[in-house]
Amino acid sequence: MSITPIVTVTGGKVSGIERDGVSVFLGIPYAAAPVGPARWALPQPVTAWEGTRAATEFGATCVQSPYPAPIHALLGSDGIPGDEYLNVNVWTPDPAGSGLPVLVWIHGGAFTRGSNARAIYDGSAFARDGVVVVSLNYRLGASGFAAVAGAPHNRGLHDQIFALRWVQENVAAFGGDPGKVTVFGESAGGMSVVDLLAAPAARGLFQQAIVQSCNGSAVCEADDAAKVGAELARHLGIDYTAAAFGQLDAQQVLEAQNTIALELMMNPDPARWGPSLIANGLGILSFYPVIDGDLITARPVDIVAAHSDRVPLMVGWTRDEFRFFTFPTGLAAAITDDTLPALLTRYGLDPVVLDAFRPSRPDATPADLFAAIITATVFRDDVTRIAESPTATPTHAYEFAWPSGIPELGSAHALEIPFVFDQLDSAHTLTGPNPPQPLADEIHTAWVRFATTGNPGWSPFTTADPVVRVFDSPESTTVTGLRTAELDAVRRAHLAR
């Protein structure tokens, strides 16, 4: 006989569903619906409901456009309509239990796309192994990150902090220990984790963190973000004020947001958009976190690297991150021996960096070299800086190296996620038809171990002993000094840092 689990949370009672010994609660609102003027304000407490609310289907997602066709083919897209999109999902092995470790997942999507409803984020395998999983939604795009006169900055990050407070207040109702919370995220979710590590308002809301495939420098100056916000208002034909934005529906703002993002990518002019927004967003990000003097006071990587008392960390990247953005998108076809130096300069690198990457890649095409160099620059450099910094708490580092069965992807961005969640059956468009289950078992177990004990199963990274766990199939290895010459070359090649 199936069991209907019921728990009481902020707002009232919710009923979930039981699947194979795991209790699942979906779409629980953690804050009030941010619609109308509230879309441009700080998150507010959830409105209480009468009786028992069914939490058996995924909740709404923040308004967004589908991914472009090549990325959509790999990842799919998100979009569940509704106003209560500030919601969480919870998977637990035992709502009546206590003291269980907790993992809080923050999804990626360049701060403009994504949701907690994706199949590869299903937390059932973690719950099966004794961990409570909470996955959260937050405001995206202009709703979450546009700088608007009269509105608070970084509304999406404020949502994440509000959700973490919800976890502190409510996770015990699901058997979790609020004193054993690990926050983890990938891509924009990983950047969010670094931002939270840097934000004073988030301190004490989690005890450990896992940073997957992120850049710790992806923040822009508030004045530059205001230039983009003013452009958004001009496209909409409204005054550049929170009051004017609050009179629009979300779809109107989204259409203007998409126009701005396309214009920025096609013509990343620092004079128009602001130098920090272009440089730190790599000409790709358009609405993303801002140095606001409150949550973020400087580059997050610098703040976190300077914290000698930070929480225990696990940080990592995939070996071929930027192939995800280079080959499926068609960019590779435009990269030649003639265009490569100029393209590297656009990414803030002296083309002399090629001299460090060519010798170990004698058969590499210009596109292969570009993807390898930008992977090291964008995804490996900052998190390694964090791992290298002196701290009283350990930082463990990893690289995901198994290549996808999808041609030309290699060990691309986002490929490790279905291995982490042990959800390979939901990821064949990304992994190909035969991903190795033993590798998923190994990686998933490492995340469980870290959430439970703070030790994923290999030695911490230090400057004296820079240990990296390289996940691969048929065999993973532990390496000291992984491609350090290439990383050193990237650091020397930065034109401005």
Please tell me the total number of residues recorded for the chain in this structure.
Answer: 497
Give the residue from 469, 493, 447, 473 showing the smallest Cα distance to 127.
Answer: 447
For residue 316, the cross-strand partners are 212, 398
From 413, 442, 444, 486, active-site residue: 413
Rounded Cα distance, 47 and 11, in Å: 6
Helix (H) / strand (E) element for 326: namely: helix 323-326
Query: Residue for token digits 């997942």?
Result: 105
Cβ–Cβ < 8 Å for 147, 228: yes
Considering 187, 217, 286, 404, which one is annotated as catalytic? 187
**Is residue 416 annotated as a catalytic residue, yes or no?**
no
DSSP per position, 407-460: TTT-S-TTTTHHHHTT-GGG-HHHH-S---HHHHHHHHHHHHHHHHHS--SSPP
CB 34 within 8 A of CB 143: yes
Nearest 5°: the CA angle 76, 78, 83 is 175
Report the C-alpha gap between 25 and 57 in whole angstroms: 8
Q: Which pairing describes strands 290-291 and 313-318: parallel, antiparallel, or unpaired? A: unpaired
Q: What letter represents residue 55's amino acid?
A: A
Whether 413 is catalytic: yes
Q: How far is CA 147 from CA 251, 265, 286, in A?
A: 18, 19, 11
Active-site residue, from 84, 186, 231, 321: 321
Half-sphere exposure of 476 (CA within 13 A, CB side): 19
Query: Is 107 known to be catalytic?
Result: no
Q: Which residues are catalytic?
A: 187, 321, 413
